[in-house]
């Protein structure tokens, strides 16, 4: 589809990799790193093949592929990291090898805060799951990846300068990598997609939003992978009902016994069996439940939406910021607990969800946060700050804006 739209874009498909039968892991990040490691010879061969007919100006890889920078170095190809999360997480990952050297303990055993430049206090227990256990193979891969970052020619980040000023300054000042030179950072965001259709036509939820008052609806959606247990779904439903707020809620099936993330196609949920008896009837005048998927960008930019309960994935964060919609952050996986702290404490554009020790969120907390975000004067500063960041995002992407200038500077460097 991309090639049909932009004929100058070509795709080179690497061979399918089969993991050895000895590979065992309960961690999908470990398997991802393993696949990429085994693909390095194929990447090397592909780059050699391309270089016979073209001059390769740059190789851009993501976080998981950072170990491939060594191949670019062997072939004298300038290599860049594309970091798909924010500058706050980037600062932390750049500093991770330093943290690793300062302790012999697993991070999950450190009952204290991360001391990372440019960041507010973040508990070690809020770090992503793959780095919590020092004995986990995933931890080894993440440290290796983070160690490779400074050897890149530059780091491209999906953020914009005025959103994360303090973290970006710490990175640029070299504070996150004390013993190496930090490559330049190119902030070119917010980069977001805007597809509103699935299987053709305008989704019914957008038509429903058309009938709702301005800024009256809270939108609940937890990314493409987030799943909740049946018990948690019921707590959310009761909390929404008790709040009295208008809502648009995307519901997926609970995870199966061997599945914690929606890494495979999901069937539509049976709402009657998952939600409390009579819930859909009692809330039909002010609520709309969507099965599995909703056009998030279109929903967030709809005039009727005034708040967003999100898992805090970075794409969702940028989509909310670009729409000027304040958030309640309910982290589920990956770097989302870090994002929660940054959004609440540093950027001040979100409210936190408070969980129990086992990660469960009670009815009272759902009701409290939904009500607070939609019907409380105390959130005015959060709402005003979010609108200010929306304007700043538009300015960053405009002609002469910081993100447009950074992207131009990056592409111009490839011409020389």
- The two tokens of residue 304 are 């009727």
| Token pair 């592929």 in the structure block, residue | 65
Burial category of 403 from C-beta neighbours within 10 Å (exposed 0-12, middle 13-18, buried 19 and up): buried
Select from 157, 78, 185 the least CA-distant residue to 415: 78
Domain boundaries, the chain: 12-20+28-187, 204-395
CA 405 – CA 352 distance, rounded (Å): 34
Taking Cα atoms as reference points, which of 379, 371, 226, 393 lies closest to residue 320? 393
**DSSP letters for 281-328:** HHTTTTEEEEES---HHHHHTSTTEEEEEE---HHHHHHHHHHT--EE
What's the pLDDT at 378? 77
pLDDT at 352: 97
Q: How far, in Å, CA of 350 to CA of 339, rounded?
A: 10
Q: What is the pLDDT of residue 25?
A: 66
Q: Are 114 and 127 in contact (CB under 8 A)?
A: yes
CA distance 80 to 72: 10
Burial class of 198 by CB neighbour count within 10 A (0 to 12, 13 to 18, 19+)? exposed
DSSP string across 99-125 = HHHH-SS-GGG--SEE--TT---EEGG
Q: Are the folds of 12-20+28-187 and 204-395 the same?
A: yes
Buried b (16+ CB within 10 A) or exposed e, 33-67: bbbbbebeeebbebbeeeeeeeeeebbbbebbbbb
Distance separating the N- and C-terminal Cα atoms of the chain: 31
Fold of 204-395: Rossmann fold (3.40.50)
Class of domain 12-20+28-187 as given by CATH: alpha beta
The token pair that represents 43 in the structure block? 């990447």
pLDDT at residue number 28: 82
Q: How far is Cα 319 from Cα 310, in angstroms, rounded to an integer?
A: 11
Read off φ and ψ for residue 403, nearest 5 degrees. Answer: -70, -40
Three-state SS at 43: helix
Which letter, b or e, does each residue of 258-289 get, where b requires 16 or more Cβ atoms within 10 Å of its Cβ?
A: eebebeeebeebeeeebbeeebeeebeeebbb
Half-sphere exposure at residue 40, Cβ-oriented, CA atoms within 13 angstroms = 15
- Enter the tokens of residue 274: 């998952």
Q: In sequence order, what E strands does 195-235 have? A: 217-221
Q: Are 349 and 372 in contact (CB under 8 A)?
A: no
Q: What is the pLDDT along the chain (416 residues), one digit of tens a residue?
A: 677 888 889 899 999 988 877 766 667 889 999 999 999 999 999 999 999 999 999 999 999 999 999 999 999 999 999 999 999 999 999 999 999 999 999 999 999 999 899 999 999 999 999 999 999 999 999 999 999 999 999 999 999 999 999 999 999 999 999 989 999 999 999 999 876 555 556 799 999 999 999 999 999 999 988 899 999 999 999 999 999 999 999 999 999 865 667 777 788 999 999 999 999 999 999 999 999 999 999 999 999 999 999 999 999 999 999 999 999 999 999 999 999 999 999 999 999 999 998 889 999 999 999 999 998 887 899 999 999 999 999 999 999 999 999 999 999 999 87
Q: What are the start-end ranges of the E strands in 37-150?
A: 59-62, 79-83, 113-114, 122-123
């Amino acid at each position: 589809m991309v090639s049909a739209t932009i004929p100058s874009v070509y795709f080179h498909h690497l061979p399918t990799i089969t993991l050895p039968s000895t590979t065992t892991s309960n961690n999908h990040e470990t398997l991802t790193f393993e696949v990429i490691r085994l693909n390095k010879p194929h990447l090397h061969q592909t780059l050699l093949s391309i270089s016979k007919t073209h001059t390769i100006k740059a190789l851009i890889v993501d976080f998981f592929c950072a170990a491939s920078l060594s191949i670019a170095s062997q072939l004298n190809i300038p290599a860049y990291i594309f970091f798909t999360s924010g500058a706050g997480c980037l600062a932390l990952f750049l500093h991770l090898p330093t943290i690793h050297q300062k302790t012999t303990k697993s991070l999950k055993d450190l009952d204290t805060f991360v001391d990372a430049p440019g960041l507010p206090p973040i508990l070690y227990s809020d770090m992503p799951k793959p780095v919590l256990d020092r004995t986990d193979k995933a931890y080894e891969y993440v440290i290796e990846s983070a160690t490779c970052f400074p050897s890149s020619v530059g780091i491209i980040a999906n953020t914009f300068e005025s959103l994360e000023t303090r973290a970006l300054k710490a990175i640029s000042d070299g504070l996150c990598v004390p013993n190496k030179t930090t490559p330049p950072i190119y902030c070119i965001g917010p980069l977001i997609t805007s597809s509103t259709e699935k299987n053709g036509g305008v989704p019914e939820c957008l038509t429903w939003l058309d009938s709702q008052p301005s800024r009256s609806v809270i939108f609940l959606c937890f990314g493409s992978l987030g799943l909740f247990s049946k018990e948690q779904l019921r707590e959310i439903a009761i909390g929404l009902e008790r709040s009295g707020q208008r809502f648009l809620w995307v519901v997926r099936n609970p995870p199966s016994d061997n599945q914690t993330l929606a890494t495979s196609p999901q069937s539509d949920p049976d709402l009657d069996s998952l939600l409390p008896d009579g819930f859909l009837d009692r809330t039909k005048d002010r609520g709309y439940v969507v099965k599995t998927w909703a056009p998030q960008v279109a929903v967030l930019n709809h005039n009727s939406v005034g708040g967003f309960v999100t898992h805090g994935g970075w794409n969702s964060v940028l989509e909310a910021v670009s729409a000027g919609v304040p958030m309640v952050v309910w982290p589920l996986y990956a770097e989302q607990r870090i994002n929660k702290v940054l959004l609440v404490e540093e950027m001040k554009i979100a409210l936190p969800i408070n969980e129990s020790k086992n990660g469960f969120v009670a009815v009272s907390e759902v009701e409290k946060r939904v009500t607070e975000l939609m019907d409380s004067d105390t959130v005015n500063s959060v709402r005003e700050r979010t609108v200010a960041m929306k304007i700043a995002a538009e300015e960053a992407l405009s002609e002469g804006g910081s993100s447009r200038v950074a992207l131009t500077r990056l592409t111009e460097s490839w011409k020389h």
